[in-house]
Amino acid sequence: LRSITARTIAGELVKVFARVGLPREILTDQGTNFTSRLLQQVCELLGIKQLRTSVYHPQTDGLVERFNRTLKAMLRKFPPEELRQWDQLLPPLLLAVREVPQSSTKFSPFEL
């Protein structure tokens, strides 16, 4: 994203929801872009329960942080010249992650 304003975040979330469907709930941190009235209204309008992580409690973000580490490790395998357009590499990498069964659940994220 070029910007992380509440308006940009809300717009991008709506695009994601249009593509993959509405979640029952979303978990965000306490950033003002996520606690804004605009995002609250979007969630309310779409019937999405908005959950927030606790301030100064990074353990809540553990799964997301672990996924980010995994994604960064995958990106590091590409030559530097390809990383200039790293955003173009994300869709196939995310597809790979979503299709591989996880050892803990024996299911792929796509199946869940």
Tell me, what's the pLDDT at 107?
Answer: 86
DSSP string, the chain: -----HHHHHHHHHHHHHHH---SEEEE-S-HHHHSHHHHHHHHHHT-EEEEPPTT-GGGGHHHHHHHHHHHHHHHTS-HHHHTTHHHHHHHHHHHHHHSPPTTTSS-TTT-
18-69 per-position pLDDT tens digit: 988 999 999 888 888 889 999 999 999 999 999 888 777 767 777 777 888 8
d(CA 17, CA 13): 6
Q: pLDDT class for 10, splitting at 50, 70, 90?
A: very high
Domain spans in the chain, listed from the N-terminal domain onward: 6-52, 61-99
Residue with tokens 């717009």: 11
